[in-house]
Each structure stands twice: as structure tokens, then as C-alpha cells.
Amino acid sequence: MWLFVFFDLPTNTKKEKRVSANFRKELIKDGFTMMQYSVYTRHCASWQSAQVHIKRVKNKIPELGHVNILQITDKQYGDIINFWGKKAEPLAPVPQQLEMF
């Protein structure tokens, strides 16, 4: 299971810039990786794990701005085609994650 967080937060004032930067830092602290400037991704080992991270993101959403969360399966993620310039780049391998209960 993969989570994508897409967001568009205002950055017109110093306070808004600080809030936006803090939201990004919280995503990184929760294990998300920046795919693009306002697009972060995270692999989750299960649906239940994804729900935990969705809840954490929801709790950190700033007052202003727009945030979307998308869940997709490993199979769907594997169908992504990435381009850097005109040359297609292979997708990074899916991380092997071990969970201890």
C-alpha cells in the first residue's frame, strides 16, 4: 500500500511559510519522501498501517490550504512511468519492510 499526500498551502506571509515548512517536516518525520515539491509518498505494509499514517497527516493539516491523500496498491504503484527529461527512468524497488508487534 502506498500513500500520496498532495498539498497546496499558502506561502504569502512569514507565518504561512513557517506553517508550510512545518507541515513538510512533519511528513518527513512520519516517513514520507518528497516526490515533488508538494507531493510526498510513503510505503505502508498494510491497510491498517496506512490508516495510522492517514490519521497522523490529518492531525497535522494546517488551517489554510488544500491537502489530498491518495491510497494505492503496490500493483498500481508499479504501473507508474517516470520521466526525467525525455528519458524514462526505472521505478525504484519497493522497500522490504519488517513489522514487529
Our measurement of the distance from residue 67's CA atom to the centroid of its chain's CA atoms, rounded to an integer in Å, reads: 11
Give residue-wise pLDDT tens across range 11-58: 999 999 999 999 999 999 999 999 999 999 999 999 999 999 999 999
CA atoms within 13 A on the CB side of 45: 6
Beta-sheet strand order (sheet of 39-43):
33-36, 39-43, 2-8, 66-72
Residue 99 belongs to a domain: no
Give residue-wise pLDDT tens across range 2-17: 999 999 999 999 999 9
The residue range of the domain holding 39 is 2-79
Give the CATH number of the domain where residue 62 resides.
3.30.70.240
Residue with cell 510505503: 43
- By the 8 A CB rule, do 81 and 12 touch? no
Residue 23 belongs to a domain: yes
Residue 100 belongs to a domain: no
Taking each continuous run of H as one helix and of E as one strand, the counts in the chain are: 3, 6
